[in-house]
Amino acid sequence: MKLIVGLGNPGKKYESTWHNVGFIIIDHLKGSRPDDYLSCKKSTKFQAEICDGEIGEEKIILIKPQTFMNKSGVAVKALANFYKIDTADIWVIHDDIDITLGSIKISQNSSAAGQKGVQSIIDELGTQNFVRFRIGIKPDNESKIPTEDYVLQKIGSEGKVVIDNIGKEVVSAIELALMNGIPAAMNEFN
C-alpha cells in the first residue's frame, strides 16, 4: 500500500497557485485513471481529501491535506498510522523553488530544504525516510519577488501548460515506480 500525498493549501484563495502544485498533480493522477479511484471524500477526522483505489496490484491512497501547508504532517501521520503504512511507502509531491520550472526530481530520505510542508511531515513522522517527487517552480528570470509571495501567486496560462506537461510526467514516474521501484523512476526521470 502506498500513501501518495500532494501538498498545498486548502481553499479557493490558493487554487492554481505555485504552492498548490502537489494538489494539482494529485488531480492529474486521479484524472489519468478515473476508473481506478472509486472512492473520494473529504474527511474531517483525518483533515484531508482522500481517494483510494489501485494501480495494478498496488493499493493506493491519494491525499490532499486540508490543513495549511505548514501543518501537512498532521494528516499524513494520522493516515499513515491508521493504515499502518511504513514511512518508505509514503510518497510526497510538492513544489520546489530551487528546481527549474518544469523539472522533476525524485528523492528519498532527504531534508526538507526549507519546504515547510515537508518539514511538518518530517517533524510528525520523526523521520525523513519517505519519497519526494519535487516539482520545479523556479522562474526562468531572476524574480525580485520574495519566495513567500511568489509561491502564492496564481499560475499564468504559460505556467499552466508547463504544469500540465509535468503532471503527465509525474503520473508516468509514479506508475514506473510502482512497477519497477523508486530507483528505476529516479534513473528515468531525474
Distance CA 107, CA 119 (A): 15
pLDDT at 147: 81
pLDDT at 142: 63
pLDDT at 54: 83
- CATH number attached to the domain at 2-189: 3.40.50.1470
128-179 pLDDT per residue, tens = 999 999 999 987 766 678 888 888 889 999 999 999 999 999 999 999 999 9
State yes or no: pLDDT of 76 exceeds 90.
yes
> Per residue, what are the HEC states of 60-118?
EEEEEECCCHHHHHHHHHHHHHHHCCCHHHEEEEEEEEEEECCCEEEEECCCCCCCHHH
170-183 pLDDT per residue, tens = 999 999 999 999 99
pLDDT at 105: 96
Q: Cβ of 185: how many Cβ atoms within 10 Å?
A: 24
Distance CA 6, CA 95 (A): 9
Greater confidence, 125 or 55?
125
pLDDT at 145: 80
11-60 pLDDT per residue, tens = 999 999 999 999 999 998 887 766 665 678 999 999 999 998 888 788 99
Residue 113 — very low, low, confident or very high, per pLDDT cuts 50/70/90? confident
Distance CA 146, CA 12 (A): 22
Q: Catalytic annotation on 19?
A: yes
What amino acid is encoded at 70 in this protein?
N
Q: Which long-range contacts (CB under 8 A, 24 or more apart) does 158-163 make?
A: 159/18, 159/101, 160/16, 162/101, 162/102, 163/21, 163/24, 163/135
For the chain, the domains span 2-189
15-25 pLDDT per residue, tens = 999 999 999 99
Q: Which of 9, 18, 19, 128 is catalytic?
A: 19
